[in-house]
Amino acid sequence: GGRCNTVALAPFFDEVTAVEINRRLTDAAERNLRANSIRNVTLLRSDSAKAESCAAGAAAILVDPPRAGLDAATLEYASAFDHVLYISCNPDALCRDLLLMPEHEVCSLAILDMFPYTTHAECV
């Protein structure tokens, strides 16, 4: 989206790198960061799998993939982090991806009904 997760979490970190492939969403993110006076974020318009060098040394990664879940390259990359915060609008894709990251343990899970009267749910 418009990097709402980035705006919410940036104050808790010294440095944040946000990656978005969609030009419109990148533009929205830039406006959102300026409107909220967030200055510790580097915004990169790129495929997430090609942005690996930007997060060198980071201990945590937040992923918010499309309904299909993480692609193989991003899943492999995310698995290397000590902490993975995974936001998913598709519980089936989340389950599949978690099973492919056996070295990680789920510490907390919240299911949010953000789409009333549908079969969709947001998982954090």
17: which strand partners? 42
Active site residue 123: no
Alpha carbon distance 69, 90 (integer Å): 7
Coil, helix or strand at residue 8: helix
Catalytic residue among 30, 52, 54, 122: 122
Catalytic residue among 4, 89, 95, 107: 89
Active site residue 122: yes
Enter the tokens of residue 37. 């006076």
Three-state DSSP string of 24-85: HHHHHHHHHHHHCCCCCEEEEECCHHHCHHHHCCCCEEEECCCCCCCCHHHHHHHHCCCEEE
User: What positions carry a catalytic annotation?
Assistant: 89, 122
